[in-house]
Amino acid sequence: MLKKVLKIIGIIILLIFIGLYFAFRTFTAPKSDAKILEAYQNSRLKPVLTNETYNGFNYRKLSLVVNDSLPTMVFVHGTIGSINDFSKYISNSDLQAKCNMVAYDRIGYNYNDKNHVQESINFERNMLKDVIKDLPFNKTILVGYSYGGPIALAVKKKVKEIILLAPAVHSSVEPMPWMVNFYKWKLTRWLVPRIWKEASKEKLSHKKDLKLFESDWENTPNKIISIHGSGDWIVPYENSKLLEDQFPEDQFQLITIDKANHGLVWSNFDAIKSQFLKILN
């Protein structure tokens, strides 16, 4: 009887694990064009989703152009991430009244993308420069979240402002999540969804790549605002504190959200939106 009970419990646990695995795989997979646009069904203004090309790679770009006279916020997502990360901002009527907005999928994170992540801040920086090449730089605001932070910060052209959201900018405080081992171990790599394999590769190379840039962050003509949660353990708050030490006070502002974690772009939407509006007003 005990053996039967244990067997049934074991089967139930296995089924729960399989269900959670496929739910996780589905939830984190890049979304189709139709799913991306679903987020804007109730938006007063509707963005346009286009297919673009950079250096032989295809990628998706979401553009909300309200008025050419307004500034444009350009969002750069992290690892793992997509244009979906910023849908709450792009669909917000208060922000729509103040600016145009653009977001794009980085290479390796597009829907049905057969390409691999490039594992290079230099490549990502050049791609971002290509995304904004037709925008007036004096009206362009770059917003980099997580891994997108160093990409935005690496742009040395003079723009209106650079806003960093929990930026991963210093190798000395770059943690390596234990879950990355599932990708590193050949025995378990097959379990890792494709998009997470790409994210794992980018994460494993990020620390080494940062060393090529981190000592030179302050050599930019741009004003920097970094918004970071003090409870962030994925990209520790120390990243922004170290960045603050590199800049003069009149060029860099650190805004701390008490106890916020790395999901602050969603969990602390109102606080971040408020900071965006201060810059736009």
Query: Is pLDDT above 80 for 1?
Result: no
SS3 133: coil
pLDDT at 8: 76
Alpha helices in the chain (DSSP H): 2-28, 33-38, 87-90, 93-96, 121-131, 148-153, 181-184, 194-210, 238-246, 264-267, 269-280
Across 10-19, 107-116, 154-163, least confident range: 10-19
pTM, two decimals, is 0.91
SS3 28: helix
- Mean pLDDT of all residues in the chain? 92
The tens digit of pLDDT for each residue in 250-264 reads 999 999 999 999 999
Taking alpha carbons only, the member of 154, 146, 96 closest to residue 120 is: 154
Please state the rounded mean pLDDT for residues 118-146. Answer: 97
Q: Measuring CA to CA, which residue among 73, 235, 238 is closest to residue 159? A: 73
In this predicted structure, the answer to whether residue 27 has a pLDDT above a threshold of 70 is: no
Q: What does the alpha-carbon distance between residue 216 and residue 98 come to, in Å, rounded to a whole number?
A: 32
* pLDDT given for residue 132 in this prediction: 97
Residue 24 pLDDT grade (very low, low, confident, very high; cuts 50, 70, 90): low
Q: How confident is the model at residue 22 (pLDDT cuts 50, 70, 90)?
A: low
CA distance 156 to 178: 34
Label residue 46 exposed, middle or buried (CB < 10 Å: 0-12, 13-18, 19+). exposed
